[in-house]
Amino acid sequence: MNSKPILEIEKEIIEDFALFDSWEDKYEYIIDLGKKLAPLEEQYKIDENKIKGCQSTVWLRADYIDGLIVFKADSDAVIVKGLISMLIKVLSGHTPEEILAAKMDFIGEIGMMTHLAQTRSNGLLAMIKQMKNYALAYQAIGARKDTV
Amino acid sequence: MEGADSLSLNTSRTLSDWLALRQQFPILSREVKGKPLVYFDNAATSQKPQVVIDALSHYYSYYNANIHRGIHTLAEEATMAYEATRDAVRDFVGAAEREEIIFTRGTTEAINLVAYTWGRKHISEGDEILISGMEHHSNIVPWQILCAEKGALLKVVPVEDDGSLSMSAFHELLSERTKLVSIVQVSNALGTVNPVKEIIDAAHRAGAKVLVDGAQSAVHLDIDVQDMDCDFFAFSGHKVYGPTGVGALYGKRELLESMPVFQGGGEMIKEVSFEGTTYADLPYKYEAGTPNIADTIALKAALDFISGIGKAQIRAHEDELLAYATAELKAIPGLKIIGEAAQKVSLVSFVVEGIHPQDIGVLLDNMGIAVRTGHHCTQPLMKRFGIPGTVRASFALYNEKTEIDVLIAALHKTIKMLT
């Protein structure tokens, strides 16, 4: 699981992006991340895992393992896949509380704010919201287990 | 109008004439992401010439007033300018009378107006409304709502592989049960120009009325509603170089007179008492409340701008751009044009094998190129072609061949980055 705190992972991504001096380098990196994202098994590419509000199709699955949430995702658009790969890198393997508390400021820092603003076509905001929704749901499940 | 007038020659325009026209659109000189803007999203909305921007600003800074009822000078000037646009729209669509022009927020509201008024009165259980498989959602959903309410049937004329309408299917689907044919004149996703005259003639013989959705056609084609003989025609101001938030519905006088009112309120009444209200005459009967005065006034500047150049001249220029873009795009390996009907306006929709349209759009934006990607509010049409969406480049009178060269070079780079 992910032992690094969310803020530290965010900092690493910001540092990575600081090395790029052109938009081409930045996007080639994101496209590469998209291509390398671990595939989501076909049986999970179902309607209930689809994120609404994206121009491309995005599937997101979350498993709750030993108190930590593990995200898996896929998309038919590679840039979106690269963006969600970064979100997974930051949020996956953390507790629901950590995920809910994450401010995700790195998105602005790496100049991807336009993706966040264009919620209808890019859906980055919809993805983060869905990840946080999973965290909220699993937090409730975890809390129930504690009381049993 | 000085610029456009000085260019309204009968001879063909030279390249420098077109460049001079282009300079009348201030937005086109801006940069996007450090590169000169290439604006190819004209089918979504066109840019505005300075005369339109000036008309808006002049209205607000010089004679802003509520229209029709005031007796002071400002109200009179505003009313005259507002009503002058009605005359300009009448000329623009070739209507016989100014009373047949109803101002709306745009095409969508115009279609809804017909659905809620004429539709509520004339459509009943078992009736059929005929649309096509290439309609914008705005010409699908109002009829679905009406059909659900009345127990009527919505029938759809299929689209051929080349993006043209199946006219044989149209003639088969048309019957005495058909009460209305609502058809797009030009497809926003494919560029196809539909044979509306043939459709209208056949529909009338079958006893059906016809609404023509002119959202995409009004800017490219010569519109003559009398020659077409359509019963209703709708278009949007913002797609004809005018402001957003204003459009018009043309309807034949006898239809508009017999239809029930749309929205109730000020402007649309003759006399109000708590016992009952009488409604205003055409066109005010359908224009409840204070209208969008500023944008309506500025719409005239846009229509004058177009007529100052001439639709034939614009069409010739745009056809040249379409032919050039089509040939250049086809030369790109893996690229497939969606919609190759014989009759098209200057709009190219395409997909690239193995690449999602959205990825192309994002990278093109980084090179200052504005295209539209997605389903273009025509989800059933995208489903018919088995694609999630397309990349759409749509051209306007101010676009140039050199911009298409920029797009082609950018596409090569985009495909290289994505594969």
* Span B62-114, pLDDT tens digits: 999 999 888 899 999 999 999 999 999 999 999 999 999 999 999 999 999 99
Model pTM score: 0.92
Domain boundaries, chain A: 6-42+50-147
- Quick: pLDDT tens for B222-259: 999 999 999 999 999 999 999 999 999 999 999 999 99
Q: At what angle do helices A23-36 and B401-418 cross, to 10 degrees?
A: 40
Instruction: Count the residues in chain B.
Output: 419
Query: Which residues on chain A are in Cβ contact (under 8 Å) with B359?
Result: 31, 77-80
Alpha-carbon distance of B272 to B261, in angstroms, equals 14
CB-CB: which of B359, B374, B388 is closest to A79? B359
Residue B1 has pLDDT above 60, yes or no: no
Chain B interface test: which of A79, A113, A121 (most B C-beta within 10 Å)? A79
ipTM attached to this prediction: 0.89
Strands (E), B259-340: 269-273, 276-279, 335-338
Q: Which of residues 91-130 of A touch B (CB under 8 A)?
A: 121-122
Q: Give me the domains of chain B, ranges plus CATH numbers.
A: 2-47+310-418 (3.90.1150.10), 54-307 (3.40.640.10)
The per-residue DSSP string of B6-56 comes to: HH--SSPPPHHHHHHHHTT-GGGG-EETTEE-EE-BTTT-----HHHHHHH
Question: Distance, in angstroms, between A72 CA and closest chain B CA?
Answer: 20
Please provide the CATH number assigned to the domain covering A6-42+50-147.
3.90.1010.10
| Whether the Cβ atoms of residue B374 and residue B41 lie closer than 8 Å to each other | no
How far does B227 lie from chain A, in Å, by closest CA? 41
**B376 is written with which tokens?**
């273009």
- Contact list in A for residue B361 (CB cut-off 8 A) is 121
- Chain A within 8 Å of B389 (Cβ-Cβ)? yes
Task: Tell me what pLDDT residue A95 has.
Answer: 96
Q: Which residue of A has its CA nearest to B363?
A: A27
Residue B144: what pLDDT? 98
- Minimum-distance CB partner of B358 among A27, A31, A77: A77
Structure tokens at B317: 């220029």
> Closest partner residue to A77 among B33, B356, B366, by Cβ?
B356
Provide the mean pLDDT of chain B: 95
CA distance B274 to B258: 24
pLDDT (mean) for A20-28: 92
Please pick, among B52, B215, B218, B377, the residue that the annotation labels catalytic: B377
Does A79 contact chain B (CB < 8 Å)?
Answer: yes
The reported pLDDT for the residue numbered A107 is 87
Residues of B in contact with A57 (CB under 8 A): 388
Min Cα distance B391 → chain A (Å) is 12
Interface test with B, best of A25, A26, A27 (most B CBs within 10 A): A27
More confident residue, B342 or B269: B342
Question: Roughly what angle, to the nearest 10 degrees, separates helices B293-309 and B73-93?
Answer: 40
Contacts of A45 in chain B (CB under 8 A): none
Q: Are residues A27 and B366, on separate chains, in Cβ contact within 8 Å?
A: yes
Residue of A nearest to B375 (CA): A55
Sort out which chain A residues have CB atoms less than 8 A from B356's CB and list them.
Answer: 56, 76-78, 80
Cα distance from A17 to chain B (closest Cα, Å)? Answer: 17
Separation in Å, CA of A80 to nearest CA in chain B:
8
| HSE toward the beta carbon, residue B184, CA cutoff 13 A | 29
Distance from CA of A4 to the nearest CA of B (A): 31
Compute the average pLDDT of residues A70-93.
Answer: 94
B-chain residue closest to A31, CA distance = B418
Chain A contact probe: residue of B356, B413, B419 with most A CBs at under 10 A: B356
Residue B269's pLDDT band (boundaries 50, 70, 90)?
confident
pLDDT of residue B70: 81
Q: Report whether pLDDT(B382) > 60.
A: yes
Tracing tokens 């491309």 back to the chain, one arrives at A56
What confidence category does residue A116 fall into, taking pLDDT thresholds of 50, 70 and 90? Answer: low
pLDDT in tens, A38-76: 989 999 999 999 987 667 889 999 999 999 999 999 999
Say whether residue A23 is in contact with chain B using an 8 A CB cutoff. Answer: yes
Chain B: residue whose CA lies nearest to A80: B359
Of B248, B128, B227, which Cα lies nearest the Cα of B182?
B128
Q: Is the dihedral of CA B272, B277, B279, B285 positive or negative?
A: positive
Contact B287, B143 (CB under 8 A): no
pLDDT digits (tens, 9 = 90+) for B155-200: 999 999 999 999 999 999 999 999 999 999 999 999 999 999 999 9
Q: Is B418 touching A (CB cutoff 8 A)?
A: yes
Flag whether residue A139 sits within 8 Å of chain B, measured between CB atoms: no
Quick one: pLDDT band at residue B11, thresholds 50, 70, 90? Answer: low
Q: What angle do CA A114, A119, A124 make, to 5 degrees?
A: 75
> Does the beta carbon of B379 lie under 8 angstroms from any beta carbon of chain A?
no
B360–chain A nearest CA distance, Å: 9
**Residue A65 appears among annotated catalytic residues:** no
Choosing among B32, B362, B392, B413, which should be mutated to test the A contact, i.e. which has the most A CBs within 10 A? B362
Choose between A142 and B90: higher pLDDT: B90
Q: Rounded to whole angstroms, how far apart are CA atoms B138 and B188?
A: 12
Chains A and B form CB pairs within 8 A to the count of 41
Binary contact (A56, B358; C-beta < 8 A):
yes
Average pLDDT over residues B318-345: 98
